[in-house]
Amino acid sequence: MKSKVSIIVPIYNTEKYLEDCLNSLLCQTLKEIEIICIDDGSTDNSLKVLRKCVKGDSRVRVVKQKNQGRSVARNVGLELAKSPFVMFCDSDDKFEANMCEEMVKLVAENDVDLVVCGINVKYEAHHELKDSDDRYYELKYCGKKIINDEVILQTDASVCNKIFRMDYVRKYEIKFPEKLNNEDYYFCNAYMSVAQTCYYAKNKLYEYVRHDGSIMSENFEKLGYSPDHLLVVEKLFIFYKNNDFLPEHNDLFWRQFDESFWFSYRHTAKGRQEKILLMARNFINEFFEKYMPANKKVKRRIEMIKNYNSFYRCREYVLNKMRSFYVVMENKFKNKEGIK
């Protein structure tokens, strides 16, 4: 039976969630699937659970490797994938029973390069993030769209609620950056920069579990992962440059750089923030003049990062207050004039 889609599942110490994850894949309504499970050197009973759950199912391929990180595990899966499409599932999350069938159907019927579906977030930890999660994962579009800068910026960076064409992945050699977190951001943005069309399906077909110890939870607990956002966007710049995406899309890149820098800076302990600022300045000094954004607001924001210090913070605070005061007084004046 020839598979229509390959599902790549990196596994590391998720014995508590793994059986539910695997069952959600094994019970897909679409049977022509290939499931590639990479155990990334688990030290708990994950491998035992894996072998028990998939025993006798010829659609599943199990790979065991020493611990090298989720990116390496996913890249191994990409090398092994034999289907025309690829999807990803984290081993502590789940697919809805019809997810593969729906995603394959949508990508084929609409003749698009990418399909994005909704995400259902289940909270075992970090309930305080629900509002920001709702805003981030809410689909900003519905139906078929031509991919442009704004579409890229308005699309979440999870690979797990998407289906990708393997011919694009192979042609442009799109891989996950190794030894870095926020690797989904690189993969999604690199892919969308070379793809042409996308389809947005409102159905929430992927269940993402927020729990203590998950990589995203650790980001918010400042355990040292947040600086990776800046390193990842710098790698994305190299991909853009090598594939002639710049300078036509300079504004897009610097908006991504701005967003990534501030995430890294704000989610890093104060003792390490100066290091992130230095990294950003070095990059700006090397590439900003050659790849100057056309948008004045974007340019100003990058210059702000370059000049950022305690004096600059105070200066910007005062200027923003003055601007706000000016707007309030202008509105009052206009209202008075209107009354007369």
Residue 98 maps to which CATH number? 3.90.550.10
- The closest alpha carbon to 222, from 259, 187, 267, belongs to 267
**102 lies in the same domain as 195:** yes
Q: Which domain-ending residue is among 219, 241, 260? A: 219
CB 72 within 8 A of CB 43: no
**234 lies in the same domain as 161:** no
The predicted pLDDT at position 340 comes to: 46
**163 lies in the same domain as 52:** yes
Beta pairing partners, 39: 11, 64
The predicted pLDDT at position 222 comes to: 47
Residue 263 is assigned to a structural domain of this protein: yes
Residue 180 is assigned to a structural domain of this protein: yes
The predicted pLDDT at position 318 comes to: 74
The predicted pLDDT at position 241 comes to: 97
Q: Which domain-ending residue is among 202, 219, 236? A: 219
**271 lies in the same domain as 209:** no
Residue 340 is assigned to a structural domain of this protein: no
Q: Which range marks the domain in which residue 83 is found?
A: 5-219
**156 lies in the same domain as 40:** yes
**151 lies in the same domain as 235:** no
Residue 53 is assigned to a structural domain of this protein: yes
Phi and psi at residue 88, to the nearest 5°: -130, 145
d(CA 53, CA 37) in angstroms, rounded, equals: 12
CB 306 within 8 A of CB 281: yes
Beta pairing partners, 208: 121
**91 lies in the same domain as 237:** no
**110 lies in the same domain as 127:** yes
**207 lies in the same domain as 154:** yes
The predicted pLDDT at position 268 comes to: 85
The 8-class DSSP code of residue 44 comes to S
CB 115 within 8 A of CB 48: no
- The closest alpha carbon to 197, from 163, 244, 158, belongs to 163
d(CA 251, CA 224) in angstroms, rounded, equals: 29
Beta strand pairing status for 5-11 and 33-40? Answer: parallel
**123 lies in the same domain as 259:** no
The predicted pLDDT at position 162 comes to: 98
The predicted pLDDT at position 223 comes to: 53
Q: Which domain-ending residue is among 175, 191, 219? A: 219
Q: How far is CA 334 from CA 148, 322, 337, in A?
A: 39, 18, 5
Domains held by the chain: number: 2
Which residue in the block uniquely carries the two structure tokens 């072998």?
51
Which residue in the block uniquely carries the two structure tokens 């190794």?
178
The 3-state DSSP composition of the chain as helix, strand, coil percent (nearest 5) reads 50, 15, 30
Residue 126 is assigned to a structural domain of this protein: yes
**80 lies in the same domain as 202:** yes
Dihedral Cα 164, 167, 170, 172, nearest 10 deg:
-80
Residue 313 is assigned to a structural domain of this protein: no
Estimate to the nearest angstrom the gap between the alpha carbon of 70 and the chain centroid. 14
CB 284 within 8 A of CB 302: yes
CB 28 within 8 A of CB 100: yes
291, amino acid identity = Y
Measure the CA angle with vertex 222, ends 219 and 228; round to 5°. Answer: 55
Tell me the mean pLDDT per 10 residues along the chain, length 340.
95 97 98 98 97 96 97 98 98 98 98 98 93 95 98 98 98 97 96 98 97 61 70 98 96 98 88 90 97 96 88 62 75 62
Residue 264 is assigned to a structural domain of this protein: yes
**44 lies in the same domain as 75:** yes
Residue 317 is assigned to a structural domain of this protein: no
